[in-house]
Structure 1
Amino acid sequence: AWTIVEDELEDRPYLAGSELTLAEIALGTLVYRWHAFPIERPPLKNLKSWYERMRQRPGFKTHIEIPIT
């Protein structure tokens, strides 16, 4: 499933194009949790770059990067 996202991010900064959308919020929660667990992940450079961009956003830090309980 992550390879679909990887391909979509090949030529754009966000899932729906050049602007942040609700898709980033929905996917952001999943990607955050995926990265929070100590598992092996395939090398997905576009998804990694997207995730790093999301992590720079104050709202992402406040509302998405919350402790997993």
Structure 2
Amino acid sequence: MAGFDDITKKAQEFLNDPKVKDALSSEQAEDVSDKLLDGVAGAAKKVTGGKFDDKIDGARDAADKHVGNE
């Protein structure tokens, strides 16, 4: 499990870097993340036949709050 712990630690260090934080909070990151999240949400809705649209939208919105600037 040491390998996984090392990867997790490196990922946390990477995400805490001020330059990375600035990039993730940019307008460009917002645009890319919106398109990606919309695509994933749309695919999930299609697969589930619309039965879980509210939950999918909620998860999409929660994820969107963590990337970009809106």
| Alignment TM-score, normalising by the size of structure 1 | 0.32
**Which structure features the higher share of helix residues?**
2
More relative contact order in 1 or in 2 (CA 8 Å, sep 6+)? 2
Higher Cα Rg, which structure: 2
Q: Scaled by the length of structure 2, what TM-score is found?
A: 0.32
